Amino acid sequence: MDSRRARENDIMICDNYVSVFRCYHDMSIYVLGNADDNELILGQVLDCLHECFDKVFKSQFERRALITQMSQVILIIDEIVDHGVVMHTQSSVILQRIKTVKKAESTGIAAAVQEEQQASSSLFGSVFASARSGLAKQMGF
């Protein structure tokens, strides 16, 4: 892989979206925004993604590594962007926060979080069950 090519971002505008992307030997990574979003900010997000992936995957940046370590990929993206809002573009901040999450998982906090998620998912399931039965009554089933 040509290192110069890996550092260049390409920009594409289509309909109401702007796309900043970088091509690698076996994949491409895209960051999308609205047409009025700043391409430089989107480029910083892409650069931060690249730096984080490069450090986490130890320069073995290929599709197979990303797929096998998808939890790391999701953590990185989640720390950079929250509900479409760019939170951080410094790879050192992102990597430090990911290390904190890993430590929390190893100390058992993850078990408490998982229990909370299971409780909320059962509540979510009961809400859907209630809605389903209400709809069935309305339709005469």
Q: Which residue has the higher pLDDT, 99 or 94?
A: 94
Give CATH for domain 3-107.
Answer: 3.30.450.60
Instruction: State the average pLDDT over residues 19-42.
Output: 88
Over residues 42-83, the pLDDT tens digits come to 999 999 999 998 888 886 778 888 888 888 888 899 999 988
- Per DSSP, what are the bridge partners of residue 34? 17
What is the residue extent of each domain of the chain?
3-107, 108-141
